[in-house]
Structure 1
Amino acid sequence: MANHILILGLVVLTCSLAFAFEPSPLQDFCVADPSSSARVNGLVCKDPKLAEAKDFSFSGLHLRGNTSNPVGSKVTPVTVAQIPGLNTLGISMVRIDYAPWGIVPPHTHPRATEIITVLKGTIDVGFVTSNPDNRLISKVLKKGDVFVFPVGLVHFQRNLGHGNAFSISVLSSQNPGVITVANAVFGSNPAIADEVLTKAFQVDKNVVDWLQSAF
């Protein structure tokens, strides 16, 4: 009997944790009210009677992004910041444009899994598994191909062609967040101590200083 109670308790706890991670909305929608000063996990809902079509729409994904930057890519996001009606719905998307040989540098989304579809060009993609293996799982994608980046894992994209390319990604969060590895490590404010980075990367202090100056 005690074993049955323990198992039942574990099942209830597991279900509770699963629902707590991505709770279902308790209303038809919760249009974000960015003017509210209330602090909640997400954004406060405005009065649903004030909801309009513009709260649920976005125009611009047909436009090519400006890739004239050092990495040769441009991300056009469609998150809750662009569509207030995404609030609490657990989904967003981005368009990514790539210059010839442009990249999206190694980064993570702390709150979302990403599924990417290539619409033009040939894109090399990959992610790295957690410690201790740190195994690279990668694939070259062509038009119409799809690939998944699991939540929280470091991943990248690279245009392998001499022409422009672009892709569309869908993410499992209204606000997936993005942590670009190089920016976070070498461009933090204030800077991470040299002693930490020289030991972590097993390089000379001059190399660390140079990298920090670049970011």
Structure 2
Amino acid sequence: MFVNGKLCEQPKFITANDFFLSRLQIFRNTANQLGSNVTAVNVDKLPGLNTLDNRLFTKVLNKGGVFVFPVGLIHFQLNVGKTNATAFASLNSQNSRVITIANAVFGSNLSINPDVLTKTFQMNKNMVDYLQKQFWSDNNN
């Protein structure tokens, strides 16, 4: 199957490496009319971008590494190193925004029924109540 003219990878064969590229730290020749060189990070370099799956993919990045999150998939990042890390984001919309899952679930403007959250996250109601109080400002009376 093709998506946007590119072969769509079968989800069962996708690994974290299909979202990873490690060449950004390598100096490239800039002796040209523009004095620059672009390293393309697209579906040709990252075949995982042309698939959707709900499995957890993990990758430890080193200097020059990039990991791309496909549009619409829940993701997170964590600095597991001992020094500061730099991250940059490139979004594909003129009006893109960040949706923090914890805020969206536990701090939604219209509170999600605690019984629904208790069953969904398989936790006791006291924990759900506690989390809603952390994120839902109207609930902090």
What aligned pairs does 1:128-167 form with structure 2 within 5 A after superposition? 130=53, 134-167=54-87
**For residue 171 of structure 1, what is the aligned residue in structure 2?**
91
Higher alpha-carbon Rg: 1
Question: Taking structure 2 as the reference length, what is the TM-score of the superposition?
Answer: 0.56
What percentage of aligned pairs have identical amino acids?
57
Q: Distance in 1 between matches of 2:57 and 2:104?
A: 23
Q: Distance in 2 between matches of 1:144 and 1:202?
A: 39
Question: Taking structure 1 as the reference length, what is the TM-score of the superposition?
Answer: 0.38
Are 2:124 and 1:204 equivalent residues in the alignment? yes
The C-alpha deviation readout for 1:119-157, integer Å capped at 9, x for no partner, is: 8xxxxxxxxx64xxx311111111111111100000111
**For residue 25 of structure 1, what is the aligned residue in structure 2?**
none
Query: SS in structure 1 opposite 2:109?
Result: coil
Q: Report the CA distance between 1:198 and its aligned residue.
A: 1.1
Query: Which structure features the higher share of strand residues?
Result: 1
Q: Report the CA distance between 1:116 and its aligned residue.
A: 9.5
Q: Distance in 2 between matches of 1:201 and 1:154?
A: 16
Unpaired stretches in structure 1, ≥5 consecutive residues? 1-13, 16-114, 120-128
Runs ≥4 in structure 1, deviation > 2 angstroms? 115-119
Alpha-carbon RMSD across the aligned residues, in angstroms, is: 2.8
Q: Report the CA distance between 1:165 and its aligned residue.
A: 1.4
Q: Report the CA distance between 1:196 and its aligned residue.
A: 1.1
What aligned pairs does 1:68-147 form with structure 2 within 5 A after superposition? 130=53, 134-147=54-67
Pick closer, same or farther for the CA change 1:186–1:178 going to 2, 3 Å.
same
Work out whether residues 198 and 205 of structure 1, in 8 Å CA contact, stay in contact via their aligned partners in 2: yes
Q: Report the CA distance between 1:190 and its aligned residue.
A: 2.5
What aligned pairs does 1:25-104 form with structure 2 within 5 A after superposition? none
Pick closer, same or farther for the CA change 1:211–1:189 going to 2, 3 Å.
same
Give aligned pairs, total.
91
The C-alpha deviation readout for 1:5-25, integer Å capped at 9, x for no partner, is: xxxxxxxxx99xxxxxxxxxx
